[in-house]
Amino acid sequence: MKLYPLFADLRGRPVLVVGGGTIGERKIAALMEAGACVTVGAVDLTPALREWVDHQRITWRAGRFEENWLDDVWLVIAATNDAALHARIAALAQARRVFVNVVDDAALSSFHVPAVIDRAPLTVAISSGGHAPMLARVLRERLEALIDPVWGLLAWMLGDMRTRIRARLPDLAARRRFYARLIDGPVRSLLRREQFAAAQTATEHLLESADDRPAGSVVLVGAGPGDPGLLTLRGLRALNEADVVLHDRLVSAQVLALARRDAERIEVAKQAGNHHATQEQIHALMLHHAAAGHRVVRLKGGDPFVFGRGGEELEFLRRHGIAYEVVPGVTAALACAAYAGIPLTHRDHAQSVRLVTAHCKHSIDTLDWRALAEERQTLAIYMGTSGLSAVQQNLIRHGRAASTPFALIQNGSRPEQRVVIGTLADLAERAAAHDIRSPALLIVGEVAALAGTLAWFGHPPLEAATLGTPALNGCNSSVRY
């Protein structure tokens, strides 16, 4: 069920609550806070409800529900313990186009009452669409702790200034920047200390000095390997503030979804063998948007400085006088190792790790194979899957034992992750048998064998014994034999 969220202005509007018990009382208290004109229909009332009736804060229709109680009301809430009565109220309300909420009965309700975090005038409302109200409540408790009362004060203050802010900063992007600076600046802390005059002055100052067209900037953000949980908090913040997101194809949809809703998203980079844009075009796009005063996030898979051409992009930005920042990301080697249960270093097996790229013939030919073939080190090889047999042959030819374990991780940290493990001797053959595709990372070294026992994420690794098992030929099965 997908609900349309709305906040209702019930000030002075008649609302009926059927049921005078504790649940009815709770509903009525919230309705009164919103200024509704509440009538409670019930045979009997709780002491609190009676008191509200005595003080004429609500009206009481004593007795059993009658259809004409629905005359002229905007909403009705049924909060009795009589299921048949609930069904009747729901049907009658429906027929009259009056919104009805039946307590604990999502199917009979035409509106739901969310769990609320009240920072008036700021209100956060959470609904599970009737599926799991308990979840909504737990989430509310967590958010309660996150959203301090200052947000409400800030909302009051800005409400008073709204017309002036719009007049001073007619441009939406400029206004957004003003609000971002306000929220991150000293004003909130002044409000927290109840220094209201100082907060007001600081806000005025910020408004006066707000640049209509500030210099644009570029933040190079590492998006990590796919799991959105691996994005850093700084990365998330940059995404929240970005006007434009220039992202690589490898960046996962879940990470992209964290960008501001109205940010312009532009896919710029290539996947192996499928060039969508050249590096020059990427540079031109960054320059174009930054020069227009936009806050650009250049979102790259993994870490921007690990085989990501981040260095070239910064050199370009520097040459053109564009301000930049860099937010590191979890690079594929770290993520794939972690999500496959492979410690990259281990006291018994490897004292160093090398990050290597073998994307094309050129990079394979220029590698120092003698050094790469040395023992007691782990290789993390970023690669297109085509170079596997060259890696295998070169390592063995330069002295690495054919029995050295490897792990090949496709789509590391993503739900579709697959891990193939084996030894160098059968690397290319096994990768082909399991149809390993890009993006995939190769880990070579004794530690790779640990995936066999330490794996914890997704499907268990496909081990050597699986080769030749008919059910697993060319497969992506999760069965381990």
Chain positions contacting ligand SAH, by CB under 6 A? 225-226, 250, 300-303, 306-308, 331-332, 336, 382-384, 409, 411-414, 438-441
Residue with smaller CB distance to ligand SAH, 19 or 329: 329
C-beta of 226: minimal distance to ligand SAH in Å? 5
Residue 270 a catalytic site member: yes
Nearer CB in complex with ligand SAH: 150/314:
314
Q: 78 forms bridges with which residues in the sheet?
A: 18, 102
Smallest gap from Cβ 300 to ligand SAH, in A, equals 6
Q: How far is CA 85 from the centre of its chain?
A: 43
Q: How far is the CB of 415 from ligand SAH (least distance, A)?
A: 11
Catalytic-role residue among 82, 105, 118, 270: 270
Contact assessment for residue 133 and residue 175, using Cβ atoms and an 8 Å cutoff: no
Return the amino acid letter for 202. Answer: A
Smallest distance from the beta carbon of 428 to ligand SAH, in angstroms?
Answer: 16
Min. distance of Cβ 442 from ligand SAH in angstroms? 8
15 or 455: whose CB is closer to ligand SAH? Answer: 455
Q: Minimum distance between the CB of residue 150 and ligand SAH, rounded to whole angstroms?
A: 38
Residue at 91: amino acid letter? A
Given the complex with ligand SAH, which of 117 and 419 has the nearer CB atom?
419
Neighbours of 431 (CB within 10 A): 22
**Residue 7 near residue 123 (C-beta atoms within 8 A):** yes
C-alpha angle 54-24-56 in degrees, rounded to nearest 5: 20
Q: Which is nearer to ligand SAH, 422 or 439 (CB)?
A: 439
Active-site residue identified among 227, 243, 248, 303: 248
Cβ 413 to ligand SAH shortest distance, Å: 6
Position closest to ligand SAH via CB: 302
Between 237 and 270, whose beta carbon lies closer to ligand SAH? 270
Closer Cβ to ligand SAH, 250 or 282, answer by number: 250
Which residues are designated catalytic? 248, 270
